[in-house]
Amino acid sequence: MKPLHELVDILSSPKKIIITHHNNPDADALGSSLGLYHYLTQKGHSCQVVSPNTIPDFILWMPASENVLIYEKSRVEVDILLQNTDLVFSLDYNHNSRTHSMEATLDAFQGVKVLIDHHLQPDTRFHYGNSNAGKSSTCEMVYDFILENKDEDLITLDISQCLYAGLMTDTGSFKFPCTTESVHAMAAGLMLRGLEPASIHTKIFDTFEEGRLRFLGFVLSEKMKINTDLHAAIIPVSMEELNRFQLKTGDTEGIVNYPLSIKEVIFSTFISERENEIRMSFRSKGSFDVNQFARTYFNGGGHANAAGGRSKMSLQQTIEIYNKAISENEIKLKQCYEELV
Ligand code: 5GP
Ligand code: MN
């Protein structure tokens, strides 16, 4: 994969570009895609953002989100568009399987494939791109790309709002270890161009339905199980429970982080029963590597402190595999805990 800045020749004339991101987009996936979309459009390219599936409400406010095509609803249109596309930018994921329904179509794309991403172990089939697990977010990498091109004057308020959203959420509101100097420098850079951070925090965190907060209360009080000995917590929820609180896509986002605020807990897991699979989110504090855990046991991956996975078994069977998995990691979990206290 050649570095992103070597795209400069290709991008020196107007191109037809598709920008896409992972299934179940979060603020970093959509924010980086729309930030890049606004930037490349200003540079004279013809761009289309395609999301594999529906965009959750908490990020629908992003400028131009109404122009995003949803692959699951517009398959034929996107497949035709791809035949006439010069470049595909893949953002906030590093293997086409992370786009679920779009995987085959993206694998078959004959044009230039570009990656901008901060997950570990990228697929080697991209032609150009930057893959840097040391970066907080894909939004930060898009910002770096714009600065590298000496285009800071093209950073509009629309771009700032999109990029700040992913920067803020992927750093856990500037508290995770990935919150580097460059993260704060970027936030300051966006503010100098007129961004008001408080309004983005409000749009993302203070716009939920009542059911979401009641669900949070319910799971923390009734569902969270803590294994103090192994420093691990798990929150399993069934489809019936998700339906009872009328949760929408994205409403369970972030719940996995709560158990980590308990002193003894260094590893947290959220398991939810969905239509076709069991979905899992993993978070850790300190050096317990959840990317490795997700890869080893649950067909997933991500970062060292935040990863996801899935299982095709029942909720109960998945919990049993999890219990076995944490037992196998007993020594590691205890060591990682000792490092923190
Ligand atoms: P979440 O728990 O929020 O769904 O995912 C946590 C992090 O892990 C996110 O950065 C997400 O993109 C990544 N992630 C989730 N599932 C997978 C997966 O199956 N493979 C890889 N490589 N990353 C994943
Ligand atoms: Mn991200």
pLDDT of residue 161: 98
Atom of ligand 1 nearest to the CA of 29: 12
Ligand 1 and 236: CB distance under 6 A: no
pLDDT of residue 249: 75
pLDDT of residue 248: 82
CB atoms within 10 A of CB 300: 21
CATH 3.90.1640.10 intervals, the chain? 4-205
Q: Residue 252's Cα: distance from chain center in Å?
A: 14
CB atoms within 10 A of CB 124: 8
CATH 3.10.310.30 intervals, the chain? 210-340
Name the β-bridge partners of 284.
267
Compute, in angstroms, the gap from residue 169 CA to the centroid of ligand 2: 9
Residues with CB under 5 A from ligand 2 (ion): 28, 92, 137-138, 170
pLDDT of residue 167: 98
pLDDT of residue 15: 98
* Angstrom distance (rounded) from CA 146 to CA 157: 14
User: Which ligand ends up closest to the CA of 163?
Assistant: 2
CATH superfamily, region 4-205: inorganic pyrophosphatase (n-terminal core) (3.90.1640.10)
Q: Residue whose CA is closest, atom 2 of ligand 1?
A: 281
* Angstrom distance (rounded) from CA 256 to CA 57: 19
The half-sphere exposure of 327 on its side-chain side, counting CA atoms within 13 A, is 6
- Residue 133 identity: A
Do 128 and 4 meet the contact criterion of CB atoms below 8 Å apart?
Answer: yes
Ligand 1 and 302: CB distance under 6 A: yes
Q: Tell me: the pLDDT tens digits for 31-40?
A: 999 999 999 9
pLDDT of residue 118: 96
pLDDT of residue 8: 95
pLDDT of residue 261: 97
Query: Which residues of the chain fall short of a pLDDT of 70?
Result: none
Atom of ligand 1 nearest to the CA of 93: 12
Domain 210-340, CATH among 3.40.50.300, 2.40.420.20, 3.40.640.10, 3.10.310.30:
3.10.310.30
Ligand 1 and 65: CB distance under 6 A: no
pLDDT of residue 250: 83
Ligand 1 and 25: CB distance under 6 A: no
**Closest to 141 measured CA to CA, from 8, 30, 36:** 36
